[in-house]
Structure 1
C-alpha cells in the first residue's frame, strides 16, 4: 500500500448518478496522475453498483441534463469504473454493514466491488489519508 499522502480516498454514500459520477471522476483524475485511488461504497451507492445501474445517466427531474450529458459524450459510470480499473491503481471496496442492511451477501467481483470490508478495516486502511472526498 502506498504512503497515505499518495492516495486519494472517495467515500460514496449517495446513489445519485451525479454524486457517483463525481466520485469516480475524482478517482479517475487521481489514477491519471499516477496516484492510488480507493473508492468505498456505502448504502445507496453500493445499491447502484449491486443493481448494475452504471450505464444510463438518470438525473431525476432533470432530463435536460441527461440529454446534454449524452450529447457531450460524457463517460458513464461504467466507463469511469473501467478506466480506473485498467490502470491497476484503483480499488473499489464495498461496506459489509451496508450490504447487510441492503440484504445482500459479500462476493468479490460483484458489480465492480473488488473487496468487502467492515468499518474497522476501512478505518485502518484510510488512516492518515488527507485527500478524502465524501459524496
Structure 2
C-alpha cells in the first residue's frame, strides 16, 4: 500500500471552534485507525493556536450547543491535541505565509507548533495524498 493511501491531510483555515474541532476529530479518527495525519494551520485557525484559545468552546450565538458540548464531556481542542501528540502518528504544521500575514512571527516559537512551512514545502509533502479535508 502506498503512503498516499495511508496518509491523511487536514487543512484548517477557519478559526471557528466547530471547524477546528471537526478537523482535529478527523485527525483523531485517523490515528485511531493507525494512519498518519498531518494538520496544516492557516490564517484564522493559526491565529487560534497562536492565541492559545484551545480550552473553552465558543460557538458564537449558540449557548445551547456550548452547554450540550460541555454536558456531554466532549474533548476540548487541547485534549484532542494531547491525544494526537501521544499517538506518534501526528504532525502539526503552521504556514509561514499566514504567520507573516498575521504579523505574528514573534509568537511562533512559543506557539507549540513544531513545524513551519511555506506553500512549496506543503505541496511537496502532500503530493499524491487522496484523503484531504479542508475546513
Q: TM-score range by the shorter chain?
A: over 0.9
Structure-2 residue corresponding to 1:58 = 58
CA deviations on 1:88-113 (whole Å, 9 max, x unpaired) are 10000000000000112277764331
Q: Which residue of 2 aligns with 1:104?
A: 104
Task: Provide structure 2 residue ranges, at least 5 long, that are not aligned to the other structure.
Answer: none
Aligned residues: 134
RMSD across aligned C-alpha pairs, in angstroms?
A: 1.4
- In the superposition, the TM-score normalised over structure 2's length comes to 0.95
1:59-94 Cα offsets, whole Å, 9 max, x none, are 000000000000000000000011000011000000
Query: Contact between 1:108 and 1:114, CA under 8 Å: does it hold in 2?
Result: no
1:31-57 alpha-carbon deviations (Å, 9 max, x no partner): 011100000000000000000000000
Query: Aligned equivalents of 1:129 and 1:10: distance in 2?
Result: 11
Name the TM-score, length of structure 1 as normaliser.
0.95
Give the whole-Å Cα distance in 2 for the aligned partners of 1:70 and 1:128: 38
C-alpha contact (below 8 Å) 2:50/2:107 kept by paired residues:
no
2:50 and 2:111 in contact (8 A); partners too: yes
Answer yes or no: is 1:84 the counterpart of 2:84: yes
Which deviates the most, 62-71 or 111-120?
Answer: 111-120
The aligned counterpart of 1:35 is 35
Matched residue, 1:10: 10
The Cα of 1:114 is off from its aligned counterpart by 1.6
Instruction: Give the secondary structure class of the aligned counterpart of 1:28.
Output: helix
Hey, what does 2:114 align to over in structure 1? Answer: 114
Give the 3 Å change call, closer, same or farther, for CA 109–89 of structure 1 in structure 2.
farther
Quick check: 1:108–1:115 contact (8 Å CA) kept in 2?
Answer: no
1:3, CA displacement in angstroms? 1.1
